[in-house]
Amino acid sequence: MKKKKFDISSIMQSKITWAVVAEILILLVCFIIRPDFFKISYQPTTGMLYGSLIDIINRSAEITIIAMGMTLVIALGGTDLSVGAMVALSGAIALKFMRWDVLVYNTPGDYTVMPYILVILVPLLVCTLLGLFNGFMIANIGMQPIIATLILMVCGRGVAQICTNGKQFTTLYSPFRVIGQGSLFCLPMPIIITAVIVVLVSLFVRKTAFGTMVESVGINPSASRLSGIDSKKIILIVFALTGLLSAISGLIYSSRIMSNDSNNAGINYEMDAILAVVIGGTNMSGGKFSLAGTVIGSIIIRTIVTFVYYFGIVSEATMAFKALIIIVVIVLQSEPVRQKMAKMGKKKKAADVPKGGAVSA
């Protein structure tokens, strides 16, 4: 039985490879400037691990969760610009249910006015229905995804302000704090939640036929319809799932700050999610997608932000650093560069073969 040969050319052609290379290079620069960047310590009082690497994964949780849904949306050949607004709306609904009326319950404390199960379930249900509305507008009405989701992007924050009467509610409710500030297995709870969601979404799209159907609809909706795939149902499911994931991200965000912030919650999340997906190697024109690549892309984006903050660079430079890194990654992932790298790999492989021919194992 012949052993499977290591094919360097296929690895060099992979878009995920260059996303991983970019992340390693960024971390290498961090290590050269500040070797303690990689230091991880344990805090007995909180029972959590601390360090820049932990912080990167922890703080990338919201974008990673949203980007799981955005990957499927982009695989369909669309975009969802409403995810940031749904993050704000999810947090607003959760805080509204905990405080309900700040004129009556005017002092934040370790309590919730409405049952805690409603605090969690209602935001998830509302955002899922809004995602379903986006899917309906696209699949049944025939709107372009960017227009359909732009409607909710514009009005979503207004709805969030209406929920809280334009006020910013705060809370000290302990069970709610656990979502964004708690820990499990010495890791921050957002990391655990993100890991569970990534696994569940991956199993859903890769261990069933759903992922293949999404790719089929993204490549050619008409041909998919003729082959028996209900493209409208696929679109509805993908956008509903994206709404649900946005709501989870909103709960994590509001739990971190123990407040709703309808003006700032989820700002630019749609752009960061799209960037994470693109950096991860998913084509904006639809078709093949990579959830693993999306996770790497999200971590790259947060690594850039952490790099900027950690080294005392003015926060206004964050967008410039993001743009610079993203340009480099996209160029490395481009077809001409990947083909050239693959050719170099093949030449090296050919040079390693003995003149008398390859010796079979």
Quick: pLDDT tens for 271-304: 999 989 988 888 888 888 999 999 999 999 898 8
Beta bridge partners of 188: 183
7 vs 109, higher pLDDT:
109
Q: What is the mean pLDDT of residues 309-317?
A: 72
Categorize the per-residue pLDDT at 305 as very low, low, confident or very high, splitting at 50, 70 and 90. Answer: confident
Statement: residue 349 has pLDDT above 70: no
Statement: residue 358 has pLDDT above 60: no
Locate 327 and state its tokens.
Answer: 């340009």
Percent of the chain with pLDDT over 70: 87
In whole angstroms, give the CA distance from residue 106 to residue 38: 44
Q: What is the mean pLDDT of residues 27-37?
A: 85
Q: What is the DSSP letter of 170?
A: B
Q: What is the mean pLDDT of residues 332-355?
A: 63
Statement: residue 357 has pLDDT above 60: no
Statement: residue 240 has pLDDT above 80: yes
Which residue from 277, 291, 303, 271 is spatially nearest to 23, judged by alpha carbons? 303
In whole angstroms, give the CA distance from residue 90 to residue 318: 26
121 vs 222, higher pLDDT:
121
Q: What is the mean pLDDT of residues 9-33?
A: 78
Selection from 46-55, 173-182, 225-234, 309-318 with the highest mean pLDDT: 173-182
26 vs 313, higher pLDDT:
26
pTM of the model: 0.88
CB count within 10 Å of CB 180 equals: 21
Statement: residue 139 has pLDDT above 60: yes
Statement: residue 80 has pLDDT above 70: yes
Q: Quote helix, strand, coil % in the chain, to nearest 5.
A: 70, 5, 25
CA angle, 52 then 272 then 41, to 5°:
10
Q: Are 244 and 126 in contact (CB under 8 A)?
A: no
CB count within 10 Å of CB 137 equals: 20
The pLDDT, as a whole number, for residue 12 is 63
Q: Alpha carbon of 264 to those of 89, 157, 261: distances in Å? A: 11, 9, 6
Residue with tokens 């630019």: 268
